[in-house]
């Protein structure tokens, strides 16, 4: 991911330095931001995997309830990523609303699961160490949702800039 992001940034930086109309420079800048958000999603996914490896290496386990909650957060993030798989420019116009609904659900779910975890901790159903790891995983999922929404908004704005340049047809 880092390698791809670097190459995309190099390409777009070179493209910006050429003489483009304002809209073209805006679109290229938006694609750079989208690339950065994709890289950040990858970073959060790596964080989640490393936390899972840590738990496994130390033979630690989450409760069934906590595992179910992680599964729900994972599914919500996969839903956002599925929505971001756009096949044509016409889909850009509806993507922000779809992703925003899922991202809001992630935020609400993150809050509820944090409350649930604090209750488990208070009731001594989990260790402090596991609670810290669980909370970090929840935060990684929540940030994936944020970056997904940024990407959706970037796609939409890039589409508008390309329409202004008449690179794609107005729909």
Domains parsed from the chain with CATH numbers: 2-164 (1.20.58.220)
| Whole-structure pTM value | 0.84
- Return the pLDDT at 121: 95
Query: Cα(75)–Cα(81) distance, rounded to whole angstroms?
Result: 10
Q: Which helix (H) or strand (E) holds 96?
A: helix 92-122
- The three-point CA angle 145-89-21 to 5° equals 100
- Return the pLDDT at 65: 97
Query: Cα(101)–Cα(141) distance, rounded to whole angstroms?
Result: 15
pLDDT tens, residue by residue, 85-133? 876 666 777 899 999 999 999 999 999 999 999 999 999 999 999 999 9
The better pLDDT of the pair 49, 13 is held by 49
């Amino acid at each position: 991911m880092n390698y791809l992001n670097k190459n995309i940034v190099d390409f777009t930086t070179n493209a910006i330095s050429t003489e483009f109309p304002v809209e073209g420079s805006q679109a290229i800048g938006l694609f750079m931001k989208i690339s950065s958000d994709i890289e950040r999603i990858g970073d959060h996914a790596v964080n989640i995997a490393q936390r899972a490896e840590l738990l496994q290496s130390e033979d630690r386990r989450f409760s069934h309830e906590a595992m179910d909650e992680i599964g729900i957060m994972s599914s919500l993030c996969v839903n956002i990523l599925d929505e971001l798989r756009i096949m044509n420019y016409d889909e850009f116009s509806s993507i922000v609303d779809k992703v925003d609904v899922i991202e809001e659900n992630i935020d609400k779910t993150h809050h509820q699961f944090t409350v649930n975890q604090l209750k488990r901790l208070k009731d001594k159903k989990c260790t402090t160490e596991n609670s810290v790891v669980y909370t970090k995983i929840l935060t990684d999922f929540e940030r994936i949702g944020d970056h997904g929404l940024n990407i959706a908004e970037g796609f939409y704005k890039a589409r508008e800039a390309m329409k202004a340049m008449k690179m794609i047809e107005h729909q």
